[in-house]
Amino acid sequence: MAEYKLKRKLALERPISEVFDFFADAVNLERITPPELKFHIITPQPIKIGEGALIDYTLRMRGFAVKWRTEISVWNPPFEFVDRQLRGPYRQWIHRHTFTEISANKTLIEDEVRYRLPLEPLGDIAHFLIRRELEYIFDYRQKAVTEILAGG
C-alpha cells in the first residue's frame, strides 16, 4: 500500500501574481492538459476558486471516460493551493501547487502530487504504467505553461 510522489519544478520570467492567477483560473486546466485526454470542466463557469471550491470534470484515461471531482483544500494566494480528489480514478490524489517569488519578474512553480492507486496492493503492480502516463501529462503541462506564459 504505497503512496507515490511526483514532483516538478519550473521557473518562469513572470511575476508571482500573474503566475498564480493563471493557475487559479480553472479554465486554464483545459489549456495545459494533453488534448488526447479530452479534459472538460463540467462545473458551471465561471468557477470561484477558493478553499472549499469543488470542480467537476471529465476526461479519458486509457480509453475510458472518467468523472473526477476535486476540492480546493488549501488556498493561500499567491503562494500555494492544494486540490485533492474527492471522486476519481485514484485511491488518493493530493496535488500541492506552490509559487515562490525568485525576483520581481521571476517565479518558481512547484508541483507535488501524492497519490495512491486503486485496488491496493494489486493496483501497485501497474504503477510503472501509471507513472509513465503521469510523467507525460506533467511534461506536457510544463511545456504548455511555458509557451502560454512566456509568450504572454
The C-alpha angle with vertex 39 and arms to 14 and 152, in degrees rounded to 5, equals 20
Catalogue all structural domains in the chain, each as residue range(s) with its CATH number: 4-151 (3.30.530.20)
The answer to whether 34 and 137 are in contact (CB under 8 A) is: yes
> Which helix (H) or strand (E) element contains residue 83?
strand 80-87
* Total-model pTM: 0.93
Dihedral (CA of 106, 55, 37, 6) sign: positive
| Bridge partners for 109 per DSSP | 10, 99
What is the band of 116 on the pLDDT scale with cuts at 50, 70, 90? very high
What is the band of 1 on the pLDDT scale with cuts at 50, 70, 90? low
